[in-house]
Structure 1
């Protein structure tokens, strides 16, 4: 039986098996600010945002998500974008397979929700895990609806929750979280 657990301030939705109860597509839709990450590619970037747009079901009834990442270099005003499509990963609720659009069609990755919820001040957050690809190591991101992110005590509770998964890779990654500049 899945249930809502309260770990400190954030409301976390996980199952007894420590698997994320998948957020609804409606929860995922919209713009998220990447406020914390372990991915080295974000260390010299700022204003990293991901906008998810739910697409109509295809002929097989599969609902995919348009995935637009935008960011700036720390010392640049130019906004860069990466666009792709997220397809639900068969047999793994709360997980998606990303495929790039255009010249990035050759690139793909797998990501999944490790947790999501809201804080007492009404902010929403999501923790995602990205599997290793040819171009990037495995990593974890914390997203927030608010550009300023969640309070540090909430981040601390999220990290504590990640370590509670007792999966060495996740625990190791959680120890390497850094703040992504949002301005």
Structure 2
């Protein structure tokens, strides 16, 4: 690629009913695994919390199932909180997972899928999560890099999300907010 040239971002709509994008290649488990910083979201819960991360670890006996650890802190406390669960791949939709909580959350489930991802700025992912009894449907942007994505890449991602042929995604993309992080620590 020529210096200064930008790769084309590849997004898909969130539902097979809307139509899957034939040229969308799902991310590998090795791409997903590790720690990600949730830098932008529509989930109301993240407005009152900070330093939100998610760590995916393949389970030893089933490499397609991911251990899912979300860690965060309330805005006015240094207490570390966490949500633990696991993600099982959806056999019918690529890069789509069913989350089930662990411990007290074991009866809670949700569904999420990757809408887009790339390796610019050390890696990024956009996920769509379906509505549950406790949360509205929404979008998250993850960054592999502490400090988040470059402004240019973030702008491209947000613009491309608004081009997805799905009215709900367009509305959600317009409602995204920055999740607070204490990057200097």
- TM-score bin (small chain): 0.7 to 0.9
**Aligned mates of 1:9, 1:75 — CA distance in 2:** 39
**Aligned mates of 1:174, 1:88 — CA distance in 2:** 25
Mark the runs of 5 or more structure 1 residues left unpaired by the alignment.
1-7
Give the direction of change, closer, same or farther, for the CA distance of 1:14–1:174 in structure 2 (3 Å limit).
closer
In structure 2, the residue matched to 1:24 is 28
**Aligned mates of 2:82, 2:49 — CA distance in 1:** 12
Superposition deviation, residue 118 in structure 1: 2.0
Give the direction of change, closer, same or farther, for the CA distance of 1:18–1:45 in structure 2 (3 Å limit).
farther
Q: Which SS does the other structure have where 2:152 is aligned?
A: helix
What's the C-alpha RMSD, in Å, of the aligned pairs?
1.9
- TM, length-normalised to structure 2: 0.86
In structure 1, the residue matched to 2:126 is 127
In structure 2, the residue matched to 1:68 is 69
Pair 1:36-2:40 in alignment: yes
**Aligned mates of 1:11, 1:78 — CA distance in 2:** 40
Equivalent residues, number: 171
Which string of whole-angstrom CA distances, capped at 9 and with x for unpartnered residues, describes residues 58-107 of structure 1? 4xxx7200000000011110000000010001211110000000110010
Q: Which SS does the other structure have where 1:42 is aligned?
A: helix
> 1:96-111 alignment to 2 at 5 Å?
96-111=97-112
